[in-house]
Each structure stands twice: as structure tokens, then as C-alpha cells.
Amino acid sequence: MTAFTSELPLPAFVSDEEARLMLAVKLFETGRLSLGQAAEMCGYSKQGFIDVLGHHGISVVQYPASELAAETAW
């Protein structure tokens, strides 16, 4: 994987690994990457990435509220 520093200058206090992890989290959160793709991007196992998502308050299950309402309507 290409280092971020060669393509995007980062502040000294942000490591390539942290930037890659935060990008993977955001891309997963917005639905641009699957769980497996995001985990692979930052070198984590799926379970490890799930733990990171939980730490950041991001749900692993991406279920739209409209679908949930339809599923639970009696």
C-alpha cells in the first residue's frame, strides 16, 4: 500500500497508520467500503476493525431507518 506521506503531507503528529485507519473508518461509515475492504485497507482483521468502529461509536450494521421502520411496522 502506498504511504500517505508521499501523496498527502500529514502533520508530524499524525502517522501514516493513523491516517489510513481514520480514512478506512470514514469510508466504511459512508458506505464507500465494505467492512472487509476497510479492515484490509488499514491492516486489521475484521474483528479488530469492528472493535475500532465500536470505539468510535460507529455501528457495524448499516441499516437505513426507513427500512427498519418498514420491518418493524405491524
What confidence tens digit (pLDDT) does each residue in 19-72 have?
999 999 999 999 999 999 999 999 999 999 999 999 999 989 877 777 777 777
More confident residue, 20 or 6: 20
Residues 6+ apart with CB under 8 A from 53: 25, 28, 59, 60
Domain boundaries, given as residue ranges, for the chain: 16-72
Helices 46-55 and 16-29, packing angle to 10 deg: 80
Residue 54 near residue 65 (C-beta atoms within 8 A): no
Cβ atoms < 10 Å from Cβ of 24: 24
Q: What is the pTM of this model?
A: 0.74
